[in-house]
Structure 1
Amino acid sequence: MPTAVVVGVGAEQGLGAALCRRFARAGHHVLVAGRTQARIAGIAAGLAAAGGSAEAVPTDATVEAEVARLFARAAAPGPGREPADLVAFNAGNNRRIDILDVAAAEFEDFWRVGCLAGFLVGREAARLMAPLGRGTILFTGASASLRGKPGYAHFAAAKAGLRMVAQSMAREFGPQGLHVAHVVIDGGIAGERLLTRAPALAEARGEDGLLSVEAIAESYWQLHRQHRSAWTQEIDLRPFREPF
């Protein structure tokens, strides 16, 4: 049984959990990694109840030692399981703060979660998979990966940095057999965060006006399945209603 690692799993109706479900349905043993023990344990239990194979691994992806411990488990996931060949980095935080009000500590925190953590996960994934000559590393990006806007300088700086990590890794490790891709989520996600914080926005967008977490997860899976003669390094996903 192949193994997948999903970093940045939180709400059951979130992208991280949807990635876990998709990878488990495809036959992977899934390491469910996130900071909240109760949430990741519940998601792992749900995968097992549905016939999948999963285990919760509490991980703060901004802490180097915790990321190293996660990938030590990914390298030796147990009897009948192969080392990880699929890693998705999905950790992130987002909040509007006018730039004059952004404290240095806040700016650094957004960078640590959105960029440094991605570097740590990507590096450890490459250390594991490059010697094997195979594997996929996927990074979750955002509209802010490509452009900044008022109130989001801290978020855009982190996401743009993560995009550069992904591009650099793709060029370094592609020739070694690793598929590294960056997914720009260019629109609102119909997950727990948006639906609870901005229900009026969700209603105004209408049917399929927000990105479905299951549809996004399917795109991640298809990236993993691409033939190496035609790898995608970056894709952008958005609802059909988006005016770009």
Structure 2
Amino acid sequence: MSKALIIGAGDGLSAALARRLAREGYAVALAARDIAKLAALAAETGASRHATDAADPAAMAALFAAEGDAEVVVYNPSYRTRGPIAGLDPAEVQKSLQVCAFGAFLAVQQAARRMLAAGRGTILLTGASAGVKGFPLSAPFAMGKFALRGLAQSAARELHPQGVHVAHVVIDGGIRSARRPDGGDQSLLDPDAIAESYLQLIRQPRSAWSSELELRPWVERF
């Protein structure tokens, strides 16, 4: 049975992706700081749960020691701290960079070591509008997501010729959830529709691999 590892799992996109992959026959593993919140999703999908700090090298090494044979690895974590540049807390800025970018590097490194040995695999990195354009009062998030995008581009160019598919997904808009209903204007992305696009990336023939995909609601201006 094929295995998929979702790092930074929670509700919304991660939950939709876990359900979609489980329906495709994947054995799903969910990693997050707080795994208690994943109990219902794990029961629904049959997924295993792993308490993991994505920015901790030892924790990530332990996670991949347990689930390192996953053919699909998805990195979803992000951390936002907002405010004017002159007043930002450096510790909070550092945390944003560690979660958004350094943790992604750890995931890509651990996945690559195993996927290169197998000669196949897919690594998907969840980006944001902030990885393409920096917004005011959001410099730390932009820094982290720009770094994530650079990691994805470099990893794709290095790993694609060796059989490992790496793709960066720009989520250009808000994602609908119970806490964030659509309101009828269709301005939010449907998490199930995003999960379908992730599955399409996983299924892509290697003769025509994407290294980046932008997703936004059809009413979004860009």
Q: Shorter chain as normaliser: what TM range?
A: over 0.9
CA contact (8 A) 2:30 2:48 kept: yes
* 1:80 matched residue in structure 2: none
Matches of residues 109-188 of structure 1 in structure 2 within 5 Å? 109-188=95-174
Deviation at 1:94, TM superposition (A): 2.6
* Cα RMSD, aligned residues only: 1.2
For the pair 1:221 / 2:199, whether they are aligned, the reply is yes
Deviation at 1:95, TM superposition (A): 4.2
Matches of residues 61-100 of structure 1 in structure 2 within 5 Å? 61-75=54-68, 83-100=69-86
* 1:39 matched residue in structure 2: 37
Structure 2 CA distance, aligned partners of 1:40 and 1:227?
32
* 1:101 matched residue in structure 2: 87
TM-score of the two chains, using structure 2 as the length reference: 0.96
Deviation at 1:93, TM superposition (A): 2.0
CA contact (8 A) 2:81 2:140 kept: no
Amino acid at match of 2:100: G
CA contact (8 A) 1:71 1:128 kept: no
CA contact (8 A) 1:41 1:55 kept: no
What runs of 5+ residues in structure 1 fail to find an aligned partner?
Answer: 49-53, 76-82
Structure 2 CA distance, aligned partners of 1:214 and 1:94?
24
* 2:4 matched residue in structure 1: 4
Q: Which moved more, 1:15-24 or 1:139-148?
A: 15-24
Structure 2 CA distance, aligned partners of 1:135 and 1:186?
26
Q: What SS class does the counterpart of residue 138 from structure 1 fall into?
A: strand
Amino acid at match of 1:181: A
Runs (4+) off by over 6 Å? none
CA contact (8 A) 1:98 1:151 kept: yes
Of the three residues 177, 180, 187, the one matched with 1:209 is 187
For the pair 1:189 / 2:175, whether they are aligned, the reply is yes
Deviation at 1:65, TM superposition (A): 0.9
TM-score of the two chains, using structure 1 as the length reference: 0.88
What runs of 5+ residues in structure 2 fail to find an aligned partner?
Answer: none
CA contact (8 A) 1:9 1:32 kept: yes
Deviation at 1:123, TM superposition (A): 0.6
Aligned-pair identity in percent equals 49
Structure 2 CA distance, aligned partners of 1:71 and 1:230?
28
Structure 2 CA distance, aligned partners of 1:45 and 1:212?
23
Q: How many residue pairs get matched?
A: 222
Structure 2 CA distance, aligned partners of 1:71 and 1:41?
21
